A and B are shown apart, each in its own frame.
Chain A
Amino acid sequence: MIKLEDLSCGYGKKIILNHLDACFQENSINVIIGKNGCGKSTLLKTIAGLNKSYTGKIFVDGKNVENINKKQLAKIIAYMPQIRHIPSMSVEEFLMCARYPYIGMFNNPEKNDYIAVEEAMELVGIQDFRNRNLKRLSGGERQKVYFAFMLAWEANYLLLDEPTTFLDVEKQFEVLELIDILKNKGKTVVMVIHDICHGLKIADKIFCVNDGCINAFNNADELIESNLIQDIYNVKLHTVTVEGKKEYIIVK
């Protein structure tokens, strides 16, 4: 469980999130939504340990992150930034980089590292392009590789910053399935997403960031009832039933 207590953060001297309290339960999918620039990504970065300008406390598995050393934290929390450097290396070599917290600088990968990479490729279904260069993959293929990377990392908490951006609709749905795979593997996912409808579909809990505050909802109905979506985005959120399944649509 990740617990935020009285957390205020921002970048530089500017504080954009004020006195937040939130809790991300074990083995659940937590979706963070909010306007551009509301501080969603900053929140994710702060939890990942990338942003040092914060006050308040962050607990991971009951321990204050300040008291967990960097190397240890790297084995617990994994983070996937929205904008990434794409290195020119084979998929397999790239996935081995996810084992860095375990291998370190001097040692060579061991059997369990190879197993972790192999399993990750299998789960995501990318064994076929293990030898292909990451740079030469399509956007959708590459996103799959990044999910395999998160799996090979073997961290319990996965922070994903907008994993569906820049993908076509089909690939977006594939990503949602991948996120489900992560959950089935027992991971706790905290993700920022722009597409509210996608987010609602897979979320166990929805966090809405607005005006420096955070509001948590247990399901879509609660969120709709709160009218918060209308306040924030000036749009209306509806549920409809399509082919017997609950879907969400947004109208102006």
Chain B
Amino acid sequence: MSKAREKIVIVAIMIVVLIIAFCIGLSFGSTKIDIGELIDAIRTNQKGLVVYRVFLYVRLPRVLAAMFAGAALAVSGVIIQGVLHNPLAGPNIIGVNSGAGFGAICAMIIFPYKVGSVPVMAFLGALITSLLVYLIALKSKSGKVTIVLAGVAISSILSAGIDALKTVFPDVIIDSNSFMIGGFSGISIKSLFPAVYYIIFGLLLAMLMARNIDILGLGEEMAQTLGMNVKLNRFLLIICSSMLAGAAVSFCGLLGFVGLIVPHIVRKYTGNNHKLLIPCSALMGASFVIICDLISRVLFVPYEIPVGIVMSFIGGPFFIILLLKGVKYNQ
């Protein structure tokens, strides 16, 4: 039973970290929000106050966006790595991100005046890409390595497509650049929907299928003889992960790194037990992105650097240190 307690402790710590990150993320920025002042404003319903407006229209949407994007991308990475038995896999590797990016840029070109079309097209792009990757793998009748290779090939085609569009339609470059790096500036509550619904649905679905990811991890033959429908499960999981990644990319741009490193870091402590790995990755992904976004806002106040840059500068070295330290689960 000490084992079960250990799990509860891990989850509890992650929840506390997220709550702290969330609160810090809300209060710091180019203007500091005083919590007491804010509570006063909410209680007396003074909607005109600066602190109230900053909180409601700038800070809250931003932190929420970072939270949902982090959770979604991390879990998307967990699923892809689990399904493909490939630690190198991530939403950016199998082409989901570039699919979403391609969709988003198409939206910017085709419907330049309809802001709402970007998330939808990004999501569609992600979904179509991952389905395409999966179908190629299915058609070639070979296993997980083919999926990764097909993803890499499609990803490079789509990147070329993005670059081609940027060259032909230089006007969209200003928008697309911040999209390519990824960030949360200028986000509003409105732009989070309906993507957040997809993310919540995707997270729940991932939790439901956690055990099946464990079983898939034993290898295809084992999974099949244990009575699991391997193809169907793999298919559903790929849809689930592209839904998560596509939804996140639609409002935060191409933040690829979270999906690769967060699952790795968490797995070092939880192992491949997905019932634990998925919620922990979601929590840690959320905290990680909130903190990176916070740093991107406060480092060079009043200027802001895209969160994608901060993420790589912090996450990269941290990841390498972890690799070198070789923290292993249950040594």
The answer to whether A and B belong to the same complex is: yes
How many B residues touch A, CB cutoff 8 Å?
27
The residue of chain B having its C-beta at the shortest distance from the C-beta of A85 within the complex is: B219
B225 touches A78 (CB 8 A): yes
- Do B329 and A49 touch (CB < 8 A)? no
**Size of the chain A interface, CB-CB below 8 angstroms:** 34
In the assembled complex, 8 residue pairs joining A and B whose CB atoms fall closer than 8 Å, in A order, are A45-B221, A50-B225, A77-B225, A78-B225, A85-B222, A88-B271, A88-B272, A88-B329
Chain A min CB distance to B293 (Å): 31
A132 within 8 A of partner (CB): yes
Q: Is the interface of B mostly helix, strand, loop or mixed?
A: loop
B-facing mask of A66-98, CB < 8 A → 1, else 0?
A: 000011011101110101110111101100011
Residue contact A87 to B328, C-beta cutoff 8 Å:
no
Pairwise interchain contact B271-A90, C-beta atoms closer than 8 A = yes
Question: Residue of B at shortest CB range from A73?
Answer: B227
Contacts of A79 in B (CB 8 A): 221-222, 225
CB pair B330–A100 under 8 Å, yes or no, is no
Query: Which residue on B lies nearest to A82, using beta carbons?
Result: B221
Q: Which residues of A contact B228 (CB under 8 A)?
A: 100
Interfacial chain A residues near B328, Cβ < 8 Å = 133, 136
B231 at the interface (CB under 8 A from A): no
A2 to chain B, nearest CB (A): 14
In the complex the two chains form, is B221's CB within 8 Å of A89's CB? no
- Closest Cβ–Cβ distance, residue A74 to chain B (whole Å): 3
Residues of A within 8 A of B209 (CB): 105
A105 touches B208 (CB 8 A): yes
Asked if A84 contacts B225 (CB within 8 A), the reply is: no
Majority DSSP secondary structure for residues of A touching B: mixed
For chain B, residues 275 to 331, give those with C-beta under 8 angstroms from any C-beta of chain A. 328-331
Query: For chains A and B in complex, what number of residue pairs have CB atoms within 8 angstroms?
Result: 84
Q: Are A93 and B273 in contact (CB under 8 A)?
A: yes
Contacts of A233 in B (CB 8 A): none
Report the minimal beta-carbon distance from B150 to chain A, rounded to whole angstroms.
21
Q: How far is the CB of B86 from chain A (nearest CB, A)?
A: 11
Return the contact of B214 from the options A49, A97, A136, A153 (Cβ within 8 A). Answer: A97
Q: Are B227 and A97 in contact (CB under 8 A)?
A: no
Also in contact, A97 and B221, with CB within 8 A (given A88-B271, A89-B273):
no
Instruction: Please name all residues of chain A whose beta carbon is closer than 8 Å to the beta carbon of B3 when the two chains form the complex.
Output: 90, 92, 131
| Cβ contact within 8 Å between B227 and A100 | yes
Interface flag for B215 (CB, 8 Å): yes
Q: Is B177 an interface residue (CB 8 A)?
A: no
Cβ distance A39 to chain B, nearest Cβ, rounded Å: 17
Is B224 an interface residue, CB under 8 A from the partner?
yes
Query: Which residue of the partner chain, among A71, A73, A89, A131, contacts B272 with CB atoms under 8 Å?
Result: A89
- Tell whether, in the assembled complex, residue B267 and residue A88 are in contact, meaning their CB atoms are under 8 Å apart: yes
- Check if A4 is an interface residue, CB within 8 A of chain B: no
CB distance from B89 to the nearest CB of A (A): 14
By the criterion CB–CB under 8 Å, are A89 and B212 in contact?
A: no
Bound complex: CA A132 to CA B331 (Å): 7
Q: Chain A residue with minimal CB distance to B212?
A: A105
Is B46 an interface residue, CB under 8 A from the partner?
Answer: no
Q: Is the CB of B215 within 8 A of A131?
A: no
Interface residues of A in 88-124 (CB under 8 A from B): 88-90, 92-93, 97-98, 100-101, 103, 105-106
Q: Determine whether B229 belongs to the interface, using a CB cutoff of 8 Å to chain A.
A: yes
Contacts of B224 in A (CB 8 A): 49-50
Chain B residue contacts of A45, Cβ below 8 A: 221
